[in-house]
Chain A
Amino acid sequence: MEYKDYYKVLGVDRDATQDDIKRAYRKLARKYHPDVSKEVDAEKKFKEVGEAYEVLKDPEKRAAYDQLGSRYQAGEDFQPPPGWDSGFEFRGGGFTEAGGGFSDFFEELFGRQGTAGSYRRGSYNAKGEDHHARIEVDLDVAFTGGSRQVTLKAPQVDASGHMVVKNRTLNVKIPKGIREGQQIRLSGQGAPGMGQGAQGDLYLEVHFRPHRLYSVEARDLTLHLPVAPWEAALGATVKTPTPVGAVDLKIPAGSQSGKRMRLKGRGIPGDPAGDLYVTLKIVNPPTDDDAAMALYREMAEKLHFNPREKLGVAL
Chain B
Amino acid sequence: MSDEPMVTGTLIRETSVVSLGDLSRACGEPADWVLALVEEGVIEPQRSSSGQWTFNGRCLRRAVRVHRLQRDLGINLSGAALALELLDEMETLRRRVQQLERIL
Q: Is the CB of B103 within 8 A of A171?
A: no
| B21 CB, nearest partner CB in chain A, Å | 10
Interface check B98, CB cutoff 8 A: yes
Q: Is the CB of A35 within 8 A of B68?
A: yes
In the complex, what residues of B have CB within 8 A of residue A189's CB? 7
Partner-contacting stretch, out of A159-167, A174-182, A303-311: A174-182
Q: Is the CB of B64 within 8 A of A172?
A: no
Cβ-closest chain A residue relative to B30: A122
Interface check B47, CB cutoff 8 A: no
In the complex, what residues of A have CB within 8 A of residue B72's CB? 29, 33, 46, 97-98
Interface check B51, CB cutoff 8 A: no
Number of A-B contacts (CB under 8 A): 100
Cβ 8 A contact of A215, one of B6, B28, B99: B99
Interface size in chain A (residues, C-beta < 8 A): 46
| A94 CB, nearest partner CB in chain B, Å | 15
Q: Is the CB of A173 within 8 A of B9?
A: yes
| B7 CB, nearest partner CB in chain A, Å | 5
Within 8 A of B (CB), among A160-207: 169-173, 175, 178, 181-187, 189, 200-205
**Chain B contact surface mostly:** helix
Q: Is the CB of B12 within 8 A of A184?
A: yes
Interface check A250, CB cutoff 8 A: no
In the complex, what residues of B have CB within 8 A of residue A178's CB? 11
Interface check A129, CB cutoff 8 A: yes
Cβ-closest chain A residue relative to B80: A35
Interface check A20, CB cutoff 8 A: no
In the complex, what residues of A have CB within 8 A of residue B73's CB? 26, 29-30, 33
Within 8 A of A (CB), among B1-22: 2, 4-13
Cβ 8 A contact of B4, one of A132, A149, A183: A149
Within 8 A of B (CB), among A71-115: 97-98
